[in-house]
Structure 1
């Protein structure tokens, strides 16, 4: 629903702020707040390796919804339980920079994930395993091991 109202929200913000760039930024922040609880669940599941925190709902036997497919695919991911997730916005969609520990213990940029979300939850994930993508979106190449990387709930 939020995505379907994006144009109207941007127009309203433009009327208030008088700048297309500022209006788009404000809409991004608003949508991120709307998606935040879902994103916190996703990041917590990924960082801890505990997929039970994801609300994937229940479907009929032998029928997988988009969220169930995502949850099953995540279980196969090598970074599951061994990473730090830093929230970001990529092309108007919520996402995360994924940081993995290197041999020296420093958490280094590993990938950029972009989530396809709907009112029902996470419907898909696009992963760019290009460490330079983090810099392109204003994210650091490394994060401190002990520092919190995302807002607490």
Structure 2
């Protein structure tokens, strides 16, 4: 596919700007290479050529730009990346909270089992104490 007029103009302006900015040919070459890489990464060539085609075919968007649904659609298209990143962040935080909750539940379970052990020991000691007191009372009554 050949480059449309907008893409040609963009490339021409960028090349001219580089040439006027620096005389270092290595730097010019690196900047031009980086520019081409960005054009490819963001699919600029296809988008500008599509725009040229739409304009040359007199394509008119008949959507009502004051319509709330259209405004919402445009707004959503601008925030989709931020929204996606935020959802990912929230999911990560939820997972961390779930893990923390599980850790706390495990600690509480351990503490409860320790409390039960201590209660049993206390009961044993109380029984032993009663037994010792009874023996002491019996010995005392024999004197």
TM band (smaller chain): under 0.3
Relative to the length of structure 1, the TM-score reads 0.21
Q: Which has the higher contact order (CA 8 A, sep 6+)?
A: 2
- TM-score between the two structures when normalised by the length of structure 2: 0.22
Q: Which has the higher helix share?
A: 2
More strand per residue: 1
Structure of larger gyration radius: 2
